[in-house]
Amino acid sequence: MAKTDILRVENVSVSFGAVKALTDVSLKVEEGEIVALIGANGAGKTTLLETVVGLNRVDGGAIYFMGKDITHMSTDKIVASGISFVPERRGILSLMAVLENLQLGNYYVKSDVNKHIERAFNRFPVLDERKKQIAGTLSGGEQRILSIARGAVSSPKMIILDEPSMGLAPIMISNLFKLLAEVNNKEGCTILISEQNARKALHYAHRGYVFAAGRIVLEGTSKELSGNPLVRKTYLGG
């Protein structure tokens, strides 16, 4: 395994009953990269991300994080090893305060917890203004920012985001990607992101994988994928 590989997925297959959700999927994410998974709804992007953090049972293949086999590890141990997962929609604890959401994002941080939270408030000032507010009363965009801030607050080695732009206004989507690029740039945090907004995702990502029917059908640098006729026709509107 190359030294810089932070995540390596090798020939992973997952099924739900008789339905094969992932077939023989292999990918790698290098340290400091932003890697985008693009594909239509139901192509297997979310299944793969959830499988990486131990939410699905793997039928075959293996997953390595920083050289360690995490294929059959429990989710809490995977999170403790440095992967933070920001789920689609269901992310925030809507009945708890903004500050409490961030405190829970630091579940495995034992020292300098307040420093981590202070830094999150500096990066996301809108949350600082509303730290005592119940998270469910934030606007949709603010809730998404909170879920990203919570994912990043513990300075994990890698953040996995599932469809972060889903349901957001275009201006919010741009802001969100800028924030992600900042977290990647300034903190060196590796990002694996699944996104239906392929244009935005490929604009900010270094590399990408295209999913279709539970398989990876294309891979390459963002530039290569953006120039690929199939990707242009199917995901970038021609």
Partner 1 sequence: MNVLLAISINGVAAGTIYALLATGFNLLLLVVGVIQFAYPHLVVMSMYILWMTLKATGNNLAISLPAAIAASVGLNLATEPMFRPLVERRYLTASFVLSIGIMIAITDIMQRQINNGVPIGFPAPLTSRDAILRTGLATMTVGQILTIAIGIAAVIGLWHLLYRTQLGRSFRAMTQSHFTARLLGIPVNKMSLGIYSIAGLLGGILAILLAMTQGAASAPLATNLAIKMLAVAIFAGLGNLRGGLICGMVLGLVESYSLNFLPGDWTNTIALGMVVGAVMFKPEGVFSPRA
Edge to edge, the sheet with strand 60-65 lists 19-30, 5-16, 60-65, 68-69
| CA quadruple 135, 141, 142, 145: dihedral, nearest 10 | 110
End-to-end CA distance of the chain: 37
Using CB under 8 A as the binding rule, whether residue 133 contacts partner 1 is answered as no
Q: CB nearer to partner 1: give 91 or 208.
A: 91
Closest approach of partner 1 to the CB of residue 107, in Å: 5
Q: Which of residues 189-218 bind partner 1 (CB under 8 A)?
A: none
Q: Which of 179, 231, 223, 218 is CA-nearest to residue 205?
A: 223
Using CB under 8 A as the binding rule, whether residue 76 contacts partner 1 is answered as yes
Using CB under 8 A as the binding rule, whether residue 65 contacts partner 1 is answered as no
Closest approach of partner 1 to the CB of residue 161, in Å: 12
Using CB under 8 A as the binding rule, whether residue 164 contacts partner 1 is answered as no
Using CB under 8 A as the binding rule, whether residue 53 contacts partner 1 is answered as yes
Q: CB nearer to partner 1: give 23 or 147.
A: 147
Stretches 82-90, 116-124, 170-178, 217-225: which one binds partner 1 (CB under 8 A)? 82-90
On whether the CB atoms of residues 1 and 156 are closer than 8 A, the answer is no
- What does the angle CA 137 – CA 197 – CA 225 come to, to the nearest 5 degrees? 150
Closest approach of partner 1 to the CB of residue 160, in Å: 10
Q: Can you tell me the distance from the alpha carbon of 113 to that of 92, in angstroms, rounded to the nearest whole number? A: 19
How many residues at the interface with partner 1, by CB under 8 A? 23
Considering only residues 39, 61, 87, 214, which one is a binding residue for partner 1 as defined by CB under 8 A? 87
Q: CB nearer to partner 1: give 90 or 186.
A: 90
Q: Can you tell me the distance from the alpha carbon of 119 to that of 52, in angstroms, rounded to the nearest whole number? A: 28
**Residue that has been written with the tokens 């075959």 in this structure:** 60
Stretches 28-36, 71-79, 115-123, 183-191: which one binds partner 1 (CB under 8 A)? 71-79
Q: Can you tell me the distance from the alpha carbon of 163 to that of 152, in angstroms, rounded to the nearest whole number? A: 16
Chain residues binding partner 1 by CB under 8 A are 53, 55, 74-76, 79-80, 85, 87, 90-96, 100, 103-105, 107-108, 150
